[in-house]
């Protein structure tokens, strides 16, 4: 079967790999119908993460179950499924707490699991899924072409946007600022609205992303950066900034921007993976701020989001503004890296 590998930063290729098979009784094998490229894939692609060896790529995928091990109880061959962006066993203490992204036996697609076995990446034709009950969510009614982008958004970006909003304590009537106009930032707008936010501002300089943010319900768009951007945000939010700020980038500047845009006593939700970001706790202390975040517990959040996607009331798939075949995966990475595409939908095998 064909699978995507990053040979070196910037060098994406399709390679032949053996078809995966059931290893443990809790495994499933999933045929990937549709995958996505994630902003965090680009950290590797751009060489921003330390690179040690070629990597199987992709952690956002949906598909059909082909085979299950004898201990799998919640999905069966033929089922349409959404995979969370990280493996989770569903039974350890963090999983029971709802923090599936902190699972004791958790591992990342395309990397080694805790026993040293290589895991398949999601940007390939098939994937062995460990702990299938704890990792996959079945889609009642199966896969429908029009639903694909919305279901695909449930693997990562929509739960991550929701996690940002929840970590920032967004509730009915909240004023919210979203930092970052990538797919996660855009989904964070949608999530804030879903939680009842009254006013949502996004910082964005890209016309295509601004358009999507408007479709997702944003009230104001701030194009300025730095001190000017902070001044605009404060002016829009009572002179002091917003009580709920969603940090969806992960750079030093974006975290500082978040702190500066937050009103005293406010709360920052942090879902951008911090890249070499130092923080002075005193900056939080002085303004009596809260900072909370991490990898979204997608597996725990998907079941609450899926019914609304299925009945058409939640449509996060608009973040996918271009489709590619698996053969075009290299182009998809390049387009995202150059910001020609907000988020790439990869059609891998027939639905």
Q: By CB under 8 A, name the binding residues for a copy of itself.
A: 93-94, 97-99, 101-102, 167, 238-240, 255, 263-265, 267, 270, 273-274, 277-282, 284-295, 297
Residue 94 or 138 with smaller CB distance to a copy of itself: 94
Residue 325 CB, nearest approach to a copy of itself (Å): 34
Distance of closest approach, residue 254 Cβ to a copy of itself, in angstroms = 11
Residue with smaller CB distance to a copy of itself, 205 or 292: 292
146 or 286: whose CB is closer to a copy of itself? 286
Instruction: Give the nearer residue to a copy of itself in terms of CB position, either 29 or 271.
Output: 271
Give the Å distances, CA to CA, from 15 to 62, 101, 267, 306: 20, 29, 45, 33
User: Quick one: 95 or 132, whose CB is closer to a copy of itself?
Assistant: 95
Kindly report the number of other CB atoms within 10 A of residue 284's CB atom: 15
CB 70, CB 25: distance < 8 Å: yes
Structure tokens at 313: 């009331």
* Cα 118 to Cα 184: distance, rounded to the nearest angstrom: 28
Strands 107-108 and 86-87: antiparallel
* Lateral strand order in the sheet of 2-8: 11-16, 2-8, 55-56
Cβ of residue 167: shortest distance to a copy of itself, in angstroms?
Answer: 7
Q: How far is the CB of 203 from a copy of itself (least distance, A)?
A: 19
Tokens of 243: 């009580």
Query: How far is Cα 25 from Cα 98, in angstroms, rounded to an integer?
Result: 24
Helices (H), 47-182: 93-96, 132-135, 148-153, 157-167
Give the pair of three-digit tokens for residue 335.
């387009």
Compute the least distance from the CB of residue 189 to a copy of itself, in Å. Answer: 21
Rank residues 232 and 234 by Cβ distance to a copy of itself and give the closer one.
Answer: 234
Closest CB 126 distance from a copy of itself, rounded Å: 30
């Amino acid at each position: 079967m064909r699978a995507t590998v990053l040979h070196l930063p910037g060098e994406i290729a399709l390679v032949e790999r053996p078809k995966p098979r059931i290893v443990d009784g809790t495994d499933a094998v999933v045929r990937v119908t549709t995958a996505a490229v994630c902003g965090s894939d680009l950290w590797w692609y751009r060489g921003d993460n330390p690179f040690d060896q070629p990597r199987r790529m992709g952690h956002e995928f949906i598909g059909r179950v082909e085979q299950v091990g004898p201990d799998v109880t919640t999905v069966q061959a033929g089922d349409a499924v959404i995979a969370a962006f990280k493996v989770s066993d569903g039974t350890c203490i963090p999983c029971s707490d709802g923090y599936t992204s902190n699972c004791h036996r958790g591992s990342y697609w395309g990397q080694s699991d805790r026993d040293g076995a290589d895991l398949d990446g999601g940007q390939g034709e098939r994937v062995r899924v460990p702990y299938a009950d704890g990792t996959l969510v079945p889609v009642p009614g199966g896969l429908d072409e029009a639903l694909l982008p919305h279901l695909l958004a449930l693997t990562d970006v929509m739960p991550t946007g929701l996690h940002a909003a929840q970590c920032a304590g967004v509730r009915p009537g909240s004023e919210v600022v979203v930092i970052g106009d990538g797919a996660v930032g855009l989904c964070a707008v949608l999530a804030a609205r879903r939680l009842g936010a009254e006013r949502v501002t996004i910082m964005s300089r890209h016309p295509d992303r601004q358009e999507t943010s408007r479709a997702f319900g944003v009230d104001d768009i701030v194009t300025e950066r730095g001190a000017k951007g902070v001044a605009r945000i404060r002016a829009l939010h009572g002179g002091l900034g917003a009580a709920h700020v969603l940090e969806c980038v992960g750079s030093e500047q974006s975290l500082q921007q978040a702190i500066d845009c937050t009103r005293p006593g406010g709360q920052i939700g942090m879902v951008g993976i911090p890249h070499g970001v130092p923080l002075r706790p005193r900056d939080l202390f002085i303004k009596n701020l809260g900072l909370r975040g991490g990898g979204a517990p997608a597996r725990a959040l998907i079941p609450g989001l899926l019914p609304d996607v299925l009945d058409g009331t939640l449509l996060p798939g608009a973040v996918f503004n271009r489709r590619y075949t698996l053969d075009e995966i290299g182009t998809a990475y390049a387009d995202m890296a150059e910001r020609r595409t907000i988020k790439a939908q990869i059609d891998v095998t027939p639905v």
